[in-house]
Structure 1
Amino acid sequence: MLFRILGPIELHTPAGVRRLGAGKPATVLATLLRHPNAWVTVDQLAEATWSGTVMPPSAPANLKTYVWQLRRLLPEVDGAGRIDRQADAYRLRVRPGELDADRARTLAAEAASAPAPSDALGLLREALKLWRGRPYCGVESAAEAALALGDLRLQLCEQLAEVQLELGDTSGAVGTLRSLTSEAPLREPAWALLVRALNAAGQPTEAKLAAREAARILRTELGVTPGPQLTHALSPTRRELPRDVRLFGRGTELAHIRRAATGPTPLILLTGPPGSGKTTLAVHAAHRLKPDYPDGQFFVHLRQPAGALLDRLLRGLGLPREDIPADLDERMALWRSTIACRRVLLVLDDAQTRDQIWPLLPAGAGSLTLITARARPGRLDGATCISLAPAAGAGRRAAV
């Protein structure tokens, strides 16, 4: 890399490293680097160079001097100078890989699409090593660009912590997030990740303390309460399944349920007369499948109206009652959006009509719904139906 702006501005040339400090030549270079390979007018350069001060009459002549000084420092590219000039504008030619900020963005994109967490880990660490301090340090006119690059670094730190958690390095994730929340205490996603990491590390007390500290800071500094992300991180996972029992003679049906659970939007309906063991089979299957649904396992008797059941489910995910809308359609939308990126197992027991079921169904592919009913409660597109006989014998499977 030739140009380094992720800290004090530096030029890395065959002659060595040249630190430009915070003078006006550094400001001219920073302004050109914010628009690589594009024409920047003399007026733009002058406004940035004398930002916050009175521009002297000699500004155009001074700019020529600063550009001349930069040309002397910069190596040629393709046999020509780095800085081009046309009537009232300058252009700095920057090749791919020569600017550290561009390299950081490239590494971030590669990490996001890495085939394995271990690959992403190395890419993220390489990207974070590029920062040497505040971007464009000392150049006041680049404050907005510096803020954006600082935010990129914070995002990379959050991604690093997520990858560390995925790889089981809970202590590393906690360390990353402790530093991040200390540096950026108003960054709620980082606090939510820290609570999650502390819980994963077997430190529930520390997790609660971190969540309380986050809530205090957000309330004091911003006047807001924690959002769903932090609330969910603090809330214990709901595990509502009834007690499991040993099950005999239902191996075929259980195998059907396992296969159906791997579908794109798993929805399974168990039907049969009273005494056929629908609920027992649903609970037994749910216990076998629950490791794949770490964000919650809910057991719902369909005896109350859909609105009341949605209220209970949303509060079970950690949403405060005052954030749950009264309108049924809005409550359905909130439920589906809340679990869209989560893996939840839902057992809906004793369904009689489609209207009881439909408002509660997840829309995403990550959750599983098991429904029990005496008969098919109307049309359920995409569902797998398993009919049970009264005895403990075999059932049959058909698609709805």
Structure 2
Amino acid sequence: MLFRILGPIELHTPAAVHQLGAGKPATVLATLLQQPNAWVTVDQLAEATWPGAAMPASASANLKTYVWQLRRLLPDLDGAGRIDRRADAYRLRVAPGEVDADRARSLGASALAAPPPARLPLLREALSLWRGRPYCGVEPAASAALALTELRLELSEQLAEVQLELGDHTNAVGTLREVTSEAPLREPAWALLVRALTAAGQRTEALLAARRAAEILRSELGVTPGPVLAAASHSLAPPLTDVSPRRELPRDVRLIGRAPEIAHIRRAATAPAPLVLLTGPPGIGKTALAVHAAHQLAPNFPDGQFFVHMRQPAGALLDRLLRGLGLSLLRIPPDLDERASLWRSSVAGRRILLVLDDALTRDQVWPLLPATPGSLTLVTARSLAGHLDGATRIPLHPLSPTAAKSLYAAASATHPNPAGIAAGRGNPGALLLAATAPAMQRRAAV
């Protein structure tokens, strides 16, 4: 091999090894090597040699100098010089097998036609020809370098597949981890890695690799895994029926003065596909009421109780709910409508209780709602933007004076400084606000 381009450009002549580095003679040689035995115009050579810069008036003369320097280094071919010239172009004459990239392609092709034991040394020899990034330092050859990098990755995948066939799982895993680290969007490499890890008995690592691949494909390309990766990962994902029902409700609280609202929620929960919307200002006790009512009703919904803070986009919320059902990332589609459809399909026929806390808009809530009878959804919101069709709306108001006194007394019995109790999410009725609001209203009226 005379021309070495799978790394920094080198010429291996009978007399010596010439390292051309990243200078302009190397650029001229790289440009000629991309079209071996073909005429390359002076304009093409000049554009490659001075990319993005003002071309000097002496460009043509300089090119002649660089070609002369290369001719001095290159041995003759068939008794004649290597670089031919005509009025407006140059041609580099290359014999078969003189370029290391061609040798790598030939070895790869031979490996495809050979049985697995014979493929292994051919692929290893081909991969050994790379010494770094192809055409290293010659930026005008960047597109050609990408193609040769792609060739190396394909050869590495072939090598890992042979290693896997021969039972060399450890080396197959090592080969594929290098590929997926360098080129994380290569789905075939991820599929092979999942297979190799599974064959090596590393089931947990295989599942993590499959999930990592799905995350990358979704975030970078907006796609779900294709059939090859999905097939390799299918046996790793736990079946939905094997997942224990979720029990996500926060700790229950003691409520005072909300009996009418609880009775209203209980009546609404008997509808075929109940949807209850609790509204009110911050600190009124919406979350506490929803959690308390959910705990009372939970025995009626044995297939799961979910509690979701709604301060995320609908897509992220659906992702979280689907994973709560036991679906792996591999099975969750990237499209919002498809995720919503999968969620509705997954809970169809099930009896689940869903608490959606602190919702902002109808569009955020709507994709999360079960569509079939048997499930209850409780939504809390300060003021929901948009109308929720079929929802039972229950507005929360400050407690009555009697209930407020009882609540304040209960707080006094359990807290040395009830006035310092903060009104917040999960607080039983937002003690301070609920207890003092009636008195504040009377004072304002005076």
TM-score over 0.5 for the pair:
yes
Matches within 5 A, 1:46-125: 46-114=46-114, 116-125=115-124
- How far apart in 2 are the matches of 1:110 and 1:42? 37
Q: Give how far 1:231 is off.
A: 1.1
**1:13 and 2:10 correspond:** no
- Deviation digits for residues 314-352 of structure 1, max 9, x if unmatched? xxxx995989xxxxxxxxxxxxxxxxxxxxxxxxxxxxx
Tell me the equivalent position of 1:180: 179
Assess if the C-alpha contact under 8 Å between 1:228 and 1:319 holds in 2.
Answer: no
Matched residue, 2:308: none
Q: Say whether the 8 Å CA contact 1:4–1:100 is kept in structure 2.
A: yes
Q: Note the 1:194-205 alignment, pairs <5 A.
A: 194-205=193-204
After superposition, the CA RMSD in angstroms is 1.9
- Unaligned stretches of 5+ residues in structure 1: 239-317, 324-400
- Superposed CA offset, 1:31-64 (max 9, x none): 0000111111111111111112111111000000
Residue 129 of structure 1: aligned partner: 128
> Does the 8 Å contact 2:83/2:92 carry over to 1?
yes
SS of the counterpart of 1:84?
A: strand
Cα distance in 1 for residues equivalent to 2:118 and 2:163: 11
Do residues 223 (structure 1) and 222 (structure 2) align? yes
Alignment check: 8 A CA contact 1:162 1:173 kept? yes
Contact kept in structure 1, 2:218 and 2:224, CA below 8 Å: yes
Shift of 1:127: 0.3
Task: Check conservation: 2:224, 2:333, Cα contact below 8 A.
Answer: no
Q: 2:70, 2:178 → 1: CA distance?
A: 37
For residues 254-273 of structure 1, give each alpha carbon's deviation from its aligned partner in whole angstroms, at most 9, with x where no partner exists: xxxxxxxxxxxxxxxxxxxx
Question: Following the alignment from structure 2 to structure 1, what is the Cα–Cα distance between the partners of residues 60 and 330?
Answer: 60
Kindly tell me: are residues 97 and 27 of structure 1, through their superposed partners in 2, closer, same or farther at Cα, counting changes over 3 Å? same
CA distance in 1, matches of 2:166, 2:54: 55
Mapped to 2, the partners of 1:233 and 1:52 lie a distance apart of 46
Structure 1 residues 51 and 321, CA, compared in 2 at 3 Å: closer, same or farther? Answer: closer
**Paired position in structure 2 for 1:386:** none
Is it true that 1:162 corresponds to 2:136 in the alignment?
no
Q: What 5-or-longer segments of structure 2 have no aligned partner?
A: 238-328, 335-446
- The residue type paired with residue 103 of structure 2 is R
Q: What aligned pairs does 1:383-398 form with structure 2 within 5 A after superposition? A: none
Q: CA deviation at 1:15?
A: 1.8
Are the aligned partners of 2:190 and 2:210 in contact in 1 as well (CA < 8 Å)? yes
Name the aligned partner's letter for residue 153 of structure 1. Answer: R
Inter-partner Cα distance in structure 2 for 1:82 and 1:322: 56
CA shift, 1:225, in A, is: 2.1
CA contact 1:4–1:99 (8 Å) conserved in 2? yes
| Aligned twin of 1:27 | 27
Larger Rg: 2
> Shift of the alpha carbon at 1:65?
0.3
Q: What is the SS of the residue equivalent to 1:96?
A: coil
CA 179–85 in structure 1, closer or farther in 2 if over 3 Å, else same: same
- Tell me the CA shift for residue 222 of structure 1: 2.4
Contact 1:232 1:319 in 2 (8 A): no
Q: Secondary structure at the match of 2:40?
A: strand
Letter in 1 for 2:7: G
Secondary structure of the residue aligned to 2:52 is coil
Instruction: Give the TM-score, by structure 2 length.
Output: 0.53
- Equivalent-residue separation in structure 1 for 2:120 and 2:188 (angstroms): 19
Aligned to 1:171: 170
The reply on whether 1:210 has 2:205 as its aligned counterpart is no
Distance 1:132 1:53 in 2: 30
What percentage of aligned pairs have identical amino acids? 77
* Alignment partners' CA distance in 2, 1:53 and 1:132: 30
Equivalent-residue separation in structure 1 for 2:233 and 2:102 (angstroms): 37
Post-superposition Cα deviations, 1:77-132, rounded to whole Å, max 9, x if no partner, equal 11111101112111111111110011011011101111x10111111000000000
Q: Which amino acid aligns with 1:59?
A: A
Tell me if the contact between 2:2 and 2:13 (Cα under 8 Å) persists in the aligned partners.
Answer: yes
